Amino acid sequence: MPLNILIADDHDMVRDTIAMFLDTDGSTQTVAASDLHEALEKIRSEGPFDLVLLDYTMPGMNGLEGLKVAIGANEGKPVGIISGTATRLIAEQALAEGAIGFLPKTLPAKSLVNAVRFMAAGETYAPVNFMSGKDDPGETDFEKGLSDRERQVLRGVMNAKSNKEIARDLELQEVTIKLHVKTLCRKLDARNRTDAAMIARNAGFVLT
C-alpha cells in the first residue's frame, strides 16, 4: 500500500517537483496544499497522512506555530519541515518542537526521496552536514555558471511564471526575458523551460 504524503508549499514548482520524484516508483501517493490553512483542511478531510511536509515560510505558518498545529491535527503521525532559507537553529528548534525531520530544499532528489521514506517510517531525519554547519552556504558550481540576472529569471521560471510576469517583476522587457530563458536552456542543456526548472531543482538551486 503506497505511503500517503501531504506536501504543503506555496511554490507550485517545488510541490510538483517533489511529488514527481516521490511518485516515480508508485510507492507513494502525494496530496498538495499551498498554505497552512489548506494543509489543515486536507489533514482533516483526507488524513491523517503517513507524513506531512510543511514549508517553513509558506503563508499561515507563523514560524513554528504552524508546525505545532499540524502535529496535533495529524493525530500523532509524522510532520516534517522543508525549507530553502531556514537556518540550522530553526531546524534544531523544529526538531525540539516535535518535527520528525528537516529537509533543506538543496537536497539532491535521491536523498530527498530516501529522507521522506525514512520520516514516514517514524525515523527522525536531518542532514548531518547541514546540522553540523559543514555545508558551505556559498555559491554552488551550478550557480557559478549563471549571472545574477539569469538566476532571477530562473527563479521566475521555477515558480511557473510566464515571461511577461517575470518581465514585470524584474522591470525588464518581455523580449529580454525570452532571450534569458533561451540562454538558460542552452546553458543547462534543457529541452524547454519546464526541463530547465527541473534541472535547477535537482541541482539544489534554491527558490528564495
Domain with 149 in it = 141-202
End-to-end, the C-alpha distance of the chain in Å comes to 35
CB burial of residue 151 (10 Å; 0-12, 13-18, 19+): middle
Q: Rounded to the nearest 5°, which phi and psi values hold at 146?
A: -120, 145
Say how many domains are in the chain.
2
pTM of this structure = 0.63
Q: Is residue 207 a part of any domain in this protein?
A: no
pLDDT at 77: 93
Q: What is the pLDDT of residue 137?
A: 46
- 51 within some domain: yes
| Residue 40: inside a domain | yes
DSSP letter for each residue of 51-63: EEEEETTSTT-TT
Please enumerate in sequence order all residues whose Cβ is within 8 A of that of 175, keeping only pairs 6 or more positions apart, or say none.
Answer: none
DSSP 125-138: B--HHHHHT-S--S
Assign residue 11 the CATH number of its domain.
3.40.50.2300
Cβ(31)–Cβ(22) under 8 Å?
Answer: no
Residues 25 and 76 in one domain: yes
The C-alpha atoms of residue 80 and residue 53 are separated, in whole angstroms, by 5
Residue-level pLDDT at 206: 62
Q: Which of 70, 100, 132 is the last residue of a domain?
A: 132
**Domain-terminating residue out of 132, 158, 183:** 132
pLDDT tens string 9-33: 988 888 888 888 887 767 788 999 9
Residue 136, pLDDT above cutoff 50: no
On whether the CB atoms of residues 100 and 125 are closer than 8 A, the answer is yes
